[in-house]
Structure 1
Amino acid sequence: MKRILLVITALIAIILIFNKLIYNDRLPPNYQALRVDVNRNKAVVNSISMMDSNFSDLRVFDRILKDNRILMLGEMMHDDGETFRAKSRLIRYLHEKLDYNIVLYEAGQYDMWLMNKEMENPTMQLPKKSLAGLGLFDFWWRNNETDPLINYYQKSKLSGKPITLGGFDIQFSGRLLADKRAKLLEDFCLKNKIDLKDYPLLKKELNNLEYLTLARYADRKLDSTAKKQFLNEIGKLRYAFQVSGGDEEQRVYNRYLADIKSNYEKSWSYAPGSMASMQLRDSLMAQNLQYQIDSLYAGKKIIIWCANIHTFSAAYNKEYLPLGTYIKKKYGHQAYMLDFSSYGRKNDAGQIVGKPGKLAIENLFHQTGVPYFFLDLRGLPDTTQLRRPFVSVINQGIEEERKWTDYIDGIFYIDLNKRPTYLER
């Protein structure tokens, strides 16, 4: 028995050693050249604190964004607290020094419009600290990392250079708006002499608008015939809004209903996170965003806050064209896609977790010993190895080998990320 165990142990050891030699230790042939290119081209960022007013380290963006109008700021994950801090400081710099006065989030188009309106002229008697919850998802406002930025937005409203906030998503995003949606829609209909009795199913489900985006809940409440009727009533009400007039509020509610209808169609037809679901959502976000860029904010400089994958300016695969592909195709070099990446993150115990596999370029980034730096991929010469395919975890920590210069224009590297510290409000 002992001899059998020894043989098995030896076999396991041989397999592990073979696996390590064949797979884990085989670095790409251009690894050393990549290391040289990273060190040669990185621009060191001294701080990610929004309170740091010494912007000498960010002046590199003066040249890079000279002819830019649209800056897409990504993030690996929606709970990367250090990325939130870095984006906040960058937004302050762009606003104060480069005249970017519009910030649009991957959040509900209507929700963010209402949030911005309340920040300018409060009517809902909500605490000032909570106004951001009308439009933003909780992870983008209810934490210490973004709190200085939210305060900055609000203070800007009283200055000569106010920041206008908006959204372009088809989803509901403002949790603090959930119990107000029905009343706000009813009041708007009453104001425009539209009787919701003409839309019986919509009127019946008015308090369940957000729950109905959950396919299982919708299946319990509505059969296929009722779903069709429900969507038709939303379409009819939208048409009634169009007929009733054309001021700003009516245009917003018109687009709001279009987003609601599209959100249901996506949620009821495709599995959450599927390529088909993402394709539909990104195509609709692109329509909303292009409308705002061309009509609402024509000629203005715009910052777009979203996930890294939505910034990609080339097809992710045959099924999915990210938002960035539409933006880059239409606006070309006027749009700059800046994504954020990290080597790992510290957990609550201070341990480094989520380290990438050894083929990922984030290992080279980590080996520089620099906590924060920026790589302008767009400005690199054709001879650099960074213009060749390399492995990165920039998309949600997934190791992918791509020619990343086809997808993004720059990388903002934060060596160690961490979860935000959430506030109780």
Structure 2
Amino acid sequence: MQKLLILLFIFLGFEGFAQKQTKNFVEKNLNIIRSIDPDSTDFTDVEVIGNAIGNSRIVMLGEQDHGDAPTFLAKTRLIKYLHEKKGFNVLAFESDFFALNEGWDHLDKQKTTINNFIQQNIFSIWTSCTQCENLFYNYVSESFGTNNPITISGFDSQFDGGYSNNLKKYIDDFFKVNDIPFIKSKSYIDNFLPFIDSIKISKDVAKQTLFIKQIDTIFKQISKKWEGSFELLVLHNLQESSKNGISFLTKAKDYKELRDKQMAENLKWLVNQKFPNQKIIVWAHSAHILKNREFIKSKSSNENWTNMGHFFTRDSLLNQQTYIVGFSSKYGTAGRITIPNTYKVVLPIKNSFEDWMNDNIKYAFVDFKRFRNLNPNSFEYFNMKGKYHIYNEAVWTQVFDGIFYIKDMYPCEKSVLKF
């Protein structure tokens, strides 16, 4: 018994030391960011982020909720810096994989057509937010008047973009060119093709199940030369979308995980197949991009799901090439333009990451990857609002590579721009 007490004392003492170690690192390696204004083009203050990113080819930028106005401003400024100073020229969104690849690739790259396409195919939580206007409706389109244009892409398995109205014809044309036997069946005409138009809204589990089986039949009939192609990946997205729909309708536990696993596959394809020699910025919710989720203590079973970042970084090479930036805020209000009500962010609790921040600091950055390199044996749990605007206890230094701190949060203003 005495030995157990001694071991417990040693363990608790080690935990306390580790926490002190992390806190000391944060306080001594806190990099003040001067501004989040997208028009602030003196990037000397954000060079610390560039140095932290180093030679990473993929940079993921998170957000605690899909309406965090100052986070969107900060991300816009970071995107400009990464584009102009670090050679990143692909911007991939948590939005329609099919629309933002097939549609973008065939788009006439003029300012009006670009702005209209963005507004119709990237989720309105961003495109209808005033704080995103600078990026979407000025910077991207104006880059096509330079020698360094920005390519827009997407990796979400949901077919929510306006361009996806072309999906049924796209699929049908692909099957006809390849003379797929299934297209000659009555089931193809009566069930398969019509269902593509209703896949987003269908609440019929039987039809979803049939659709999944039909795609399996099609996979067996397609030539192996198409393996790894965009066309087959679109079919996988259709199939996983139906699986996701069934999971949601039946209240299964894998509802979120199905989507995230496919998003990871889509992002891998973008990185390895479509843009193998380019640097990519990923824009998504922090809950999708974080890694090593096993280091987060979940407060409910709803949080205990395997996410895109976890699937993506299981590939050791991709993990080495990726730098993941989370966001944290201390005070304020949050909400989305698609939801009428706003809410107060959780106030800082004692000895949390946000509590370590002096109130005179508005914006700052901490490089957790550097902490890991300096302290490879440190796995300390501490509280931080890294996943949402609520606290989770986690080894946050293993979950994100860096944290962008914002003192005051406020929700988006609704944009009135129409194209």
State whether structure 2 residue 49 is matched by structure 1 residue 61.
Answer: yes
In the other structure, the counterpart of 1:209 is 199
Q: 2:122 aligned to 130, 136, 140, which one?
A: 136
Q: Does the 8 A contact of 2:109 with 2:141 survive in 1?
A: no
Q: Does the 8 A contact of 2:65 with 2:334 survive in 1?
A: no
Measured at CA, do residues 38 and 227 of structure 1 come closer, stay the same or move farther in structure 2, by a change above 3 Å?
closer
Measured at CA, do residues 272 and 177 of structure 1 come closer, stay the same or move farther in structure 2, by a change above 3 Å?
farther
In the other structure, the counterpart of 1:276 is 254
Structure 1 residues 338-377: aligned runs within 5 Å:
338-346=325-333, 353-359=344-350, 361-377=352-368
The residue identity in structure 1 corresponding to 2:87 is D
State whether structure 2 residue 223 is matched by structure 1 residue 231.
Answer: no
In the other structure, the counterpart of 2:7 is none
When the two structures are superposed, what TM-score results if normalisation uses the length of structure 2?
0.79
CA distance in 2, matches of 1:347, 1:296: 36
Task: State the Cα distance separating 1:281 from its structure 2 match.
Answer: 2.3
In the other structure, the counterpart of 1:4 is none
The residue identity in structure 2 corresponding to 1:39 is E
Measured at CA, do residues 246 and 352 of structure 1 come closer, stay the same or move farther in structure 2, by a change above 3 Å?
closer
The residue identity in structure 2 corresponding to 1:207 is D
Q: 2:104 aligned to 78, 91, 116, which one?
A: 116
In the other structure, the counterpart of 1:397 is 389
Q: Does the 8 A contact of 1:342 with 1:362 survive in 2?
A: no
Q: 1:293 aligned to 264, 271, 279, which one?
A: 271
The residue identity in structure 1 corresponding to 2:312 is I
Q: Does the 8 A contact of 1:39 with 1:368 survive in 2?
A: no
SS at match of 2:355: helix
Q: Does the 8 A contact of 2:331 with 2:409 survive in 1?
A: yes
Per-residue CA deviation, residues 237-284 of structure 1 (Å, 9 max, x unaligned), is 5666x4498599xx4333212101111112202469975222222222
Measured at CA, do residues 202 and 154 of structure 1 come closer, stay the same or move farther in structure 2, by a change above 3 Å?
same
Structure 1 residues 62-77: aligned runs within 5 Å:
62-77=50-65
Measured at CA, do residues 102 and 204 of structure 1 come closer, stay the same or move farther in structure 2, by a change above 3 Å?
closer
CA distance in 2, matches of 1:386, 1:59: 27
CA distance in 2, matches of 1:89, 1:272: 42
Q: 2:38 aligned to 50, 70, 74, which one?
A: 50
The residue identity in structure 2 corresponding to 1:372 is Y
The residue identity in structure 2 corresponding to 1:329 is R
Per-residue CA deviation, residues 263-320 of structure 1 (Å, 9 max, x unaligned), is 1112202469975222222222222222221222213222111111222221347963
The residue identity in structure 2 corresponding to 1:323 is M
When the two structures are superposed, what TM-score results if normalisation uses the length of structure 1?
0.78
Task: State the Cα distance separating 1:170 from its structure 2 match.
Answer: 1.3
CA distance in 2, matches of 1:185, 1:343: 47
Q: Does the 8 A contact of 2:346 with 2:391 survive in 1?
A: no
In the other structure, the counterpart of 1:267 is 245
Q: 2:308 aligned to 290, 305, 323, which one?
A: 323
Measured at CA, do residues 184 and 74 of structure 1 come closer, stay the same or move farther in structure 2, by a change above 3 Å?
same
Per-residue CA deviation, residues 195-224 of structure 1 (Å, 9 max, x unaligned), is 956312023334322212xxxx224xxx3x
The residue identity in structure 1 corresponding to 2:155 is F
SS at match of 2:332: strand
CA distance in 1, matches of 2:45, 2:171: 47
CA distance in 2, matches of 1:327, 1:244: 25
Which sections of structure 2, spanning at least 5 residues, go unmatched? Answer: 1-14, 299-303, 336-341
CA distance in 2, matches of 1:387, 1:244: 45
CA distance in 1, matches of 2:91, 2:250: 27
- Segment of structure 1 superposing worse, 282-291 or 314-323: 314-323
In the other structure, the counterpart of 1:162 is 149
In the other structure, the counterpart of 2:320 is 333
Per-residue CA deviation, residues 399-418 of structure 1 (Å, 9 max, x unaligned), is 11111111111100111122
Task: State the Cα distance separating 1:104 from its structure 2 match.
Answer: 1.5
- Segment of structure 1 superposing worse, 254-263 or 357-366: 357-366
- Segment of structure 1 superposing worse, 380-389 or 288-297: 380-389
Task: State the Cα distance separating 1:54 from its structure 2 match.
Answer: 0.8
SS at match of 1:112: helix
Per-residue CA deviation, residues 21-49 of structure 1 (Å, 9 max, x unaligned), is xxxxxxx9788876654332111111111
Which sections of structure 1, spanning at least 5 residues, go unmatched? Answer: 1-27
The residue identity in structure 2 corresponding to 1:152 is Y
Over the residues paired in the alignment, what is the CA RMSD in angstroms? 3.5
SS at match of 1:375: strand
Per-residue CA deviation, residues 97-116 of structure 1 (Å, 9 max, x unaligned), is 00011222222211211342
CA distance in 1, matches of 2:108, 2:227: 18
- Segment of structure 1 superposing worse, 328-337 or 55-64: 328-337
CA distance in 1, matches of 2:200, 2:232: 18
CA distance in 2, matches of 1:32, 1:40: 12
SS at match of 1:177: helix
Measured at CA, do residues 270 and 233 of structure 1 come closer, stay the same or move farther in structure 2, by a change above 3 Å?
same
Task: State the Cα distance separating 1:184 from its structure 2 match.
Answer: 4.9
Measured at CA, do residues 384 and 354 of structure 1 come closer, stay the same or move farther in structure 2, by a change above 3 Å?
farther
Q: Does the 8 A contact of 2:67 with 2:411 survive in 1?
A: yes
Measured at CA, do residues 375 and 269 of structure 1 come closer, stay the same or move farther in structure 2, by a change above 3 Å?
same
In the other structure, the counterpart of 2:8 is none
CA distance in 2, matches of 1:142, 1:191: 39
Measured at CA, do residues 34 and 378 of structure 1 come closer, stay the same or move farther in structure 2, by a change above 3 Å?
closer
SS at match of 2:155: strand
SS at match of 1:157: helix
In the other structure, the counterpart of 2:301 is none
SS at match of 2:34: coil
CA distance in 2, matches of 1:228, 1:274: 15
